Chain A
Amino acid sequence: MTAVIETTGLTKTYGAVRALDGLSLSIPRGGIYGVLGPNGAGKSTLFRILLGLIRPTGGEVRVLGQHAGDPAVMRRIGSMIETPRFPPYMTARQVLQWLALAHGSKDAAIDAWLDRVGLTEAANRRVRGFSVGMLQRLGVAAALMTKPDLVILDEPTSGMDPPGIQEMRALIRSLADDDGVTIILASHQLLEVQRVCDRVAIFNRGKLAAEGKVSELTAAGERLRLSATPLARIMGVLGDKATLDGDAVLAAVPRAEGPALLRALIEQGVDIDEARWVGADLESVFMAETGPARTPAQVREALHAG
């Protein structure tokens, strides 16, 4: 499995602040890779280094096998960092035409891309009147129209309505599956990431806190959800491995022990309506890796201290 991104001991400091702290990461070619982390975790800093917008303070970084910022490599990358901005006096079509010319692209298929991101009707409107969601769509079209090998998207669905989010998710998925483009995306919408990404990296304070396939990360918190009666008897069998989840019980047992547990419950006279494995969602993994949210009292304390 070849890597599109390789970082070793990557560090970026702004004065006393270490935005990236010795980050070593390998992002494989193909599929959709999610980069998660709380604000200030270093996601945007990593993206800016990958795109040659800023230089690292230390460490190594290679993008598509070359140094970050290498012009030949940059032309193979499409990107959208945060909410994109465009010259306000230009129409959506003119923006794409301008960027296609900047790229030296003769066959950018501008109308096809406007259609693909749902901006055909707004193609001749000036972007100064665009909503955030429309700007996001135009930014995605701008990132993709030059047929890059690698696409970096920072919060691609920010500001979009639910149908727009669904369309964007389908577009991103089709790019990875049908066009073979490697996509790296950052998002705070963990459910979206869980749905669309194949692998994720979780950043915390400039370091890599967790990395792996989404299914592997969430499997660590997998539970057997039992809808059964009487609940008290189930609790008695499972002891502290059981937690109540509404009318059901979540059993913290390894998948291999599932059949034996079900047999034992039936022998105890438990009437099982439904038993199914439920994974932990990405949000629980995220919270476990980045620490719990601070309480209002902790926030007040931090403010007084700072």
Chain B
Amino acid sequence: MLADAIRSETYRLLQNRTAVFWSVFFVPFIALALSIAGAFLIKTKAEQLAGELPPGLATSGPLDLGVAFANNAGGLANPGILAFLLIGAATLYAGDYRWETWRLISARNTRPVLMLGKVGVMKILALAAMLVFLLTSSIADIARGLIFDRPFTFSVGISQAADFGLLFVLSFVRVMQFLMISLLAAVFTRSLLAALFIPLVVGVAQFFLGEAAPALGLGPDDWSAQLLMPGLAFDTLKTLIKGGMEASTLPDGVMIKALVSLALWTLVPLGAAIAWFTRQDLSKE
């Protein structure tokens, strides 16, 4: 039954090429183009100004693509990916309210399964967007290396592989967290625009809360800080995965708090959306 829901939602989403383009392809390719253009610009300007590249860029040291890929995996939950994935999420989650098509499919499966089917397809879409972004950011790394004449190395150790895997999973959870807020907004308001903008508003609010946190006396080891700001929880876990000096400064027990925060911000909106949808009057679309 869940397979039917995922199959049909995937089929429908693939017919909506506009939503797929904006959700999956726009940000990675724009980022790639800007990155390459920026590298060319910097090189040209630097050569014009001083005949040399700025410190840091002019390094003759090799570019370790293994490390670069792991870092890219940690940057997949960026605002560009999140914002444009919401186009697909809003279409998928609120489309049946927008086009009054719930009554066509609600008779063909149970409501929780229909909702989980949508979430399943959104996971696939998010993974696709992340993988495309990973690919284009890796291409951008290679292109920048070529532009700045840096030699390449590719260190593939257990440590890099583990970092890459953990950072990728962490970014995926962070992306899904936003998409679950979109789901709840879609089901609760029945509005495509709300599904698109409410997660953005929540994200912006959390950003400003994070900026104000020190003034409010909230430290990273506070339960309230971790629970109110899943972005902080995400950054905490990212730091712990990367290790090093910064990780060693984090207080003990903060990992559990961050994990609980991420889990709550993902599962609570999902559970609330399913519970609300199960009792929703679908004749009022």
Query: A84: which B residues are within 8 A, CB to CB?
Result: 104
Instruction: Report 18 cross-chain contacts, Cβ distance below 8 Å, ordered by A residue.
Output: A51-B106, A51-B107, A53-B281, A53-B282, A53-B283, A54-B283, A74-B106, A74-B108, A79-B107, A85-B99, A85-B100, A94-B11, A97-B11, A98-B11, A99-B8, A99-B105, A99-B108, A103-B108
Number of interface residues of B (CB under 8 A): 27
The answer to whether A101 has its CB under 8 Å from any CB of chain B is: yes
Residue in chain A with minimal CB distance to B1: A104
Chain B nearest CB: distance from A40 CB in Å? 15
Chain A nearest CB: distance from B25 CB in Å? 17
Verify A102–B5 contact, CB threshold 8 A. yes
Contact of B109 among A44, A71, A77 (CB under 8 A): A71
Q: Within the assembled complex, what's the spacing in Å between the Cα atoms of A74 and B100?
A: 19
The answer to whether A88 has its CB under 8 Å from any CB of chain B is: yes
In the complex, number of A-B residue pairs with CB atoms less than 8 Å apart: 77
Per-residue interface assignment for chain A, residues 38 to 65, with 1 indicating a CB less than 8 Å from any chain B CB and 0 otherwise:
0000001000100111110000000000
Contact of A81 among B4, B103, B108, B110 (CB under 8 A): B103
Verify B99–A86 contact, CB threshold 8 A. yes
Q: Within the assembled complex, what's the spacing in Å between the Cα atoms of A89 and B7?
A: 18
Verify A142–B12 contact, CB threshold 8 A. no
Verify B107–A52 contact, CB threshold 8 A. yes
Verify B16–A87 contact, CB threshold 8 A. yes
The answer to whether B189 has its CB under 8 Å from any CB of chain A is: no
The answer to whether A90 has its CB under 8 Å from any CB of chain B is: yes
**Chain B's interface: helix, strand, loop or mixed, by majority?**
helix
Contact of B106 among A53, A97, A101, A142 (CB under 8 A): A53
Verify A75–B107 contact, CB threshold 8 A. yes
Number of interface residues of A (CB under 8 A): 29
Q: Within the assembled complex, what's the spacing in Å between the Cα atoms of A251 and B8?
A: 61
Residues 96 to 118 of chain A near chain B (Cβ within 8 Å): 97-99, 101-104
Verify B15–A90 contact, CB threshold 8 A. yes
- Which residues of A line the B interface, CB within 8 A? 44, 48, 51-55, 71, 74-75, 77, 79, 81, 84-90, 94, 97-99, 101-104, 142
Known contacts A90-B12, A90-B15; decide if A104 and B4 are in contact (CB<8 Å). yes
Contact of B99 among A77, A88, A104 (CB under 8 A): A88
Query: A51: which B residues are within 8 A, CB to CB?
Result: 103, 106-107
Verify B104–A86 contact, CB threshold 8 A. yes
Query: A99: which B residues are within 8 A, CB to CB?
Result: 8, 104-105, 108
Query: A48: which B residues are within 8 A, CB to CB?
Result: 283
Q: Within the assembled complex, what's the spacing in Å between the Cα atoms of A44 and B107?
A: 16
Verify B8–A101 contact, CB threshold 8 A. yes
Verify B15–A89 contact, CB threshold 8 A. yes
The answer to whether B78 has its CB under 8 Å from any CB of chain A is: no
Query: B7: which A residues are within 8 A, CB to CB?
Result: 101
Residues 78 to 117 of chain B near chain A (Cβ within 8 Å): 95, 99-101, 103-110
Q: Within the assembled complex, what's the spacing in Å between the Cα atoms of A210 and B108?
A: 33
Q: Which of A54, A85, A102, A103 has the most CB of B within 10 A?
A: A102
Residues 11 to 41 of chain B near chain A (Cβ within 8 Å): 11-12, 15-16, 18
Contact of A87 among B99, B110, B282, B283 (CB under 8 A): B99
Query: A97: which B residues are within 8 A, CB to CB?
Result: 11
Chain A nearest CB: distance from B117 CB in Å? 9
Verify A75–B15 contact, CB threshold 8 A. no
Verify A98–B12 contact, CB threshold 8 A. yes
Verify A102–B109 contact, CB threshold 8 A. yes
Q: Within the assembled complex, what's the spacing in Å between the Cα atoms of A53 and B15?
A: 27
7 additional A-B pairs beyond A71-B1, A102-B5, beta carbons within 8 Å, are A52-B106, A52-B107, A81-B283, A85-B100, A87-B101, A89-B15, A94-B15
Residues 235 to 285 of chain B near chain A (Cβ within 8 Å): 279, 281-283
Query: B281: which A residues are within 8 A, CB to CB?
Result: 53-54
Residues 198 to 230 of chain B near chain A (Cβ within 8 Å): none
